[in-house]
Chain A
């Protein structure tokens, strides 16, 4: 647990106060001492209300001292959560079908499902959440064997892309959700306060659904679902309504929450934000035409081809001319150029581009990214 403490101190030393505060809250929750969690929440409140007038470092240090004195929580052991075998689905009224897909999710795992629109990401997620009937295959929720569907749906939380409207005050909804999960009394108040601070939602908690932006709606929905303490969290395009900073924050938060010692959970999320998802996901699946085309870590990935994407100020003809007589293949998808080579490694490819004097405004190695499958 010293690592976590050091990690927080490191964030503080480098001025990453917001991240440090979030991790301090996580650490307090994992230690699971009510008074220490309350203290962390009150520090967070002051920090969010007037971040410039607070000596966060000394307050955090004091709290960390207390947290470190308490027996650390047990290390999280990853246990099987979901075992999906050859699940397929065909809609009766359409041409689309999901061809057999198998996957496994353990606690603390984050699985990213990526793919272009209309290729079956949402269908797969809805099947996994028990919302859509599957045609063949099996879905085994390992943590709740022999459970009925109602219990399974209690265990699996699904956040759709279009979140249904909440009624009443946002905070009441969070209390209600915590209460549904069996968190009662003072603990309920504490956990709602924690979640509001953790996701920085406190200033909006007294509002109603219509008075917050779609980005905050997503965050409130995540808070509500997390209070419900699901074993498996499935999110369909959670980043769609978020700005770039919020996307980063939510993704890192989801990763932290998945690996939390307090309540480790498995997370499956679909998104178009490939690079952001790839940064936090343990595994990324690329789905095209209802078929799993690529999965990070799979042995069938063609690693013999190095691929980079780049943006340049020169035109296509000049670029192709510059790279003539090399093994490099150039493709253009309307936004980026994709350069691939079976001879050169990614680093060598980048070096080649610069050595040819090509003016590069952006580049990224996507050899091991699902991005290479997007045309």
Chain B
């Protein structure tokens, strides 16, 4: 610890030492949360890691090499959290019966959450830097342009081996009632197929015509849907989506390749392709079983001649890095970050407002309750609704038991444990309610066999709102109910 203290003093600038001094003299709640120190060392760590991963060679065309460093940084973050916890144990305004207002309790929680969030965010840095480097190395416009060009060049260089015939699909328009059946989840599905020929409704046919390259009416109610062979061997759809540039259609590519073919240009095209290959090819190629079937317009062996597989691998790696922080990934990672930070903050919050003994008893009770509930659920055969109701019942019970603190004359283990578990779970009540609502909807649908307005996107939207409401509820409960309960309970005399 002495060594750490020395390192701390070495790394602390004068202004921060002055600020630290100011805080201890004026704001013990903020000082004891150590947010200023965590922020500073977090910033140093962020800068160091960012610089390190900017310097370390990292070719965006090759497989990512950040997983191992992320693992080690995650371990260091855990160590950092442990040290932070030790520091937090040192000074506690609440347990010293100091001037601790409702706002103090709320700000204390928020500061702890911020600090833990800062520490927990460290393992994300290598990935962020890697993404930044990939974006710096390859712009989306460049990727789209080069990919389109490479598709053209591959087609021209392997022109003799290209499949030229359109594929065809015959459909029969039917006025008869289309056969329907229920799938395993109970949803009704229209089936347009029989063994030999596709049978479809008019609306389906119109939809198919819009999606196919051409259509031929053979005789009344019989149609042939035609598709040009696809000369797209490489794609970078993510980059295209982000620059909002539509690509040529299958048919346009087809005509473009055939109309542009010129034997005299082959040598130029070949050298141009080689340059692009050097630019994009990865040196690590993994063979997957889907490769042989991926490009039906040209055999995989032909593509291997040009080394397309390595280019595809390189493009995949670049796209993966470039767009790692887009789409659903940030939301998932945000949730991971948020809930780890929240969970640890709640544990710390409870620890700082409860006695050590009751804190650990609470953990034990929570684990035991989980195990017993598991057995209970298994024996009674409870399903989703039953489990969710059980959770709400537990939270309500702990709430009632916690409020008994107000009338207690002695520090009771039961009220202490209830208060701790209630504090840990109150923020999740809206989420449980949303799950319960949708479980009821599904149950209703299953029982009545009617289609109801069940939309997963809408569910995700409601879930997000429930998460936000849960946090707001927690932030409201901390300075109100939890403050009053903890203040009363902690000051009560022992039995």
Point out residues on A near B: beta carbons under 8 Å.
92, 127, 130-134, 148-150, 152-154, 167-168, 172-173, 175-177, 179-182, 184-185, 188-189, 228
Contacts of A150 in B (CB 8 A): 97, 100, 487-488, 490-491
B84 within 8 A of A: no
Contact yes or no, B494 A179, CB < 8 A: no
9 smallest CB-CB distances across A and B, nearest first, come from A180-B98, A149-B491, A167-B90, A133-B493, A150-B491, A179-B28, A133-B410, A153-B97, A154-B97
Q: Are B491 and A130 in contact (CB under 8 A)?
A: yes
* B-side interface residues, number (CB < 8 Å): 27
CB distance from A43 to the nearest CB of B (A): 24
Contact B492 A188 (CB under 8 A): no
Indicate if the CB atoms of A180 and B96 lie closer than 8 Å.
yes
12 extra interface residue pairs, beta carbon distance < 8 Å, beyond A133-B409, A133-B494, A177-B96: A130-B491, A132-B493, A132-B494, A133-B495, A134-B493, A148-B487, A176-B24, A179-B26, A180-B28, A180-B99, A184-B25, A184-B26
Q: Report the separation of the CA atoms of residues A152 and B495 in the bound assembly, to the nearest whole angstrom.
A: 18
Which secondary structure dominates chain A's binding surface?
A: helix
Contacts of A175 in B (CB 8 A): 24-25
| 6 pairs from A and B in contact (CB 8 Å cutoff) | A133-B495, A168-B91, A179-B24, A179-B98, A181-B99, A188-B25
Which residues of chain A have C-beta atoms less than 8 A from B492's C-beta? 133, 149
Q: Give Cα A188–Cα B491 distance, bound, in whole angstroms.
A: 26
Q: Residue of B at shortest CB range from A177?
A: B96
A92 to B495, CA, bound (A): 9
In the bound complex, do residue A131 and residue B25 qualify as a contact, i.e. CB atoms below 8 Å apart?
no
In the complex, what residues of B have CB within 8 A of residue A152's CB?
A: 491
B91 neighbours in A (Cβ, 8 Å): 167-168, 173, 176
CA distance A172 to B5 in the complex (A): 14
B143 within 8 A of A: no
Binding site for A on B (CB under 8 A): 24-28, 31-32, 89-91, 93, 96-100, 409-411, 487-488, 490-495
Q: Which of A130, A167, A176, A177 contacts B493 (CB 8 A)?
A: A130
Question: Hey, which chain A residues are within 8 Å of B491, CB to CB?
Answer: 130, 148-150, 152-153
Q: Identify B89's interface contact among A148, A167, A173, CB under 8 A.
A: A167
Contacts of A127 in B (CB 8 A): 493
Bound Cα distance A311, B487 (Å): 55
Q: Is the CB of A172 within 8 A of B24?
A: yes
Chain B residues within an 8 Å CB radius of A92? 495
Bound Cα distance A228, B96 (Å) = 10
A176 and B28 contact, Cβ closer than 8 Å, known pairs A132-B493, A168-B90: yes
Compute how far the CA of A56 lies from the CA of B365 in the bound complex, rounded to whole angstroms.
Answer: 64
Output the residue of A148, A149, A153 with the most chain B CB within 10 A.
A149
Q: Return chain B residues, CB-CB under 8 Å to A148.
A: 487-488, 491
**Could you tell me the distance in whole angstroms from the C-beta of A131 to the nearest C-beta in chain B?**
6
CB closest chain-A residue, reference B28? A179
Report B410 CB to chain A, min CB distance, Å: 4
Find the A residue at minimum CB distance from B100: A150
Separation of A181 and B98 alpha carbons in the complex (Å): 6
- Chain A's closest residue to B27 (CB) is A179
| Chain B residues closer than 8 Å to A168, beta-carbon distance | 90-91
| Residues in B neighbouring A131, C-beta threshold 8 A | 493-494
Q: Which residues of A contact B495 (CB under 8 A)?
A: 92, 133
Please give, as numbers and ranges, the residues of chain A lying within 8 Å of B26 by CB-CB distance: 179, 184-185, 188
Closest to A130 in B: B493
User: In the complex, A228 Cα to B99 Cα: how many Å?
Assistant: 11
- A185, B25: Cβ atoms closer than 8 Å: yes
Q: How far is the CA of A185 from the CA of B28 in the complex (A)?
A: 11
How many whole Å from B379's CB to the nearest CB in chain A? 37
Cβ of A179: which chain B residues have Cβ within 8 Å of it?
Answer: 24-28, 31, 98
Q: CB-CB < 8 A to A132: which residues of B?
A: 493-494
Of all chain B residues, the one with the shortest Cβ separation from A188 is B25
Which of A148, A180, A189: most chain B Cβ within 10 A? A180
With both chains docked as a complex, state the minimum distance between the C-beta of B419 and any C-beta of chain A, in angstroms. 15
